[in-house]
Structure 1
Amino acid sequence: MAPIASNKAALLALRCPRCHEGKIFTSPALSFKFAEMPEVCPVCGQPTEPEPGFYYGAMFVSYAFSVAIFAVTAAALYFLFGDPEIWVYVVVVGLTAMLFTPLSVRYSRMLMLYWFGGVHYTSNWTRYEPKIRRTALAPKPTPAVA
């Protein structure tokens, strides 16, 4: 499959920010596993979680999406149906929020990955190989004896 040239189009298609080819989510949006992500991009090997707890910030983005969904749904009910009873608002806004939750979670994670993940599109990418960092506790390599 050819990579998507535009960052915006790749974000909307839920593709890897590095290669614009790999799918970031493993399951369909309307399933119980809608938020499952592979550890690395299946095409280029780029890790999908830059650091532990990276997607906690996506909760705030998802919250903003939910508030926007609530406001648009409530305004549509008000203007289309002439201010119905409060239970209509609760039921319709609640069902709309539940319906859009998978998309909200997915796109909030994608926005976090594209904006704050530190990964940028490269048209001539090579397979990602993580760099091994040596620490004081890591064993030092032993020289080969010939």
Structure 2
Amino acid sequence: MIEIERKFLVISDIFKKEAFKKSRIIQGFLNSHKKRTVRVRLKDDIGFLTVKGKSSKDGLSRFEWEKEITKQEAEALLQLCESGIIDKIRYEVTIKNHIFEVDEFFGDNQGLVIAEVELEHEKDTFEKPNWLGEEVTGNIKYYNSQLSKKPFKSWEQ
């Protein structure tokens, strides 16, 4: 139940040709406190309720619990969420032994593309595809819970 991941900006759309899966995700937050978040997600036609704890100091790991719920339950819970619903397409790309999840954001976060890779251990190594840019692991402004409050379009460019 500990999630270990690294997060990167994406600098080209080559990943789209390499993706083996693509899903639309709509998500909102019932609670977006910095010590814990409670997220409702609709991924295509499947709902999820997720609780995440506070990140470690380096931003690499945190507690995560997730439960599948029905589409109808997710749609109802999305109506109760804080303002700032996240809308994105997630592409899944295999690079050697790792799967990169690449999120292309829409709406108020249009123009932002972020890749995450989940790891077994904090010291795990992985091959970086050439479409990865700057690492933003631990930078709270790139967390979905923060993007729902202060979206990418509001950042000073």
Q: Which TM class, normalised by the smaller chain length?
A: under 0.3
Q: Given the two structures, how large is their TM-score scaled by the length of structure 1? A: 0.27
Structure having the higher strand fraction is 2
Find the structure with the greater CA-based Rg: 1
Q: TM-score, normalised to structure 2's length?
A: 0.26
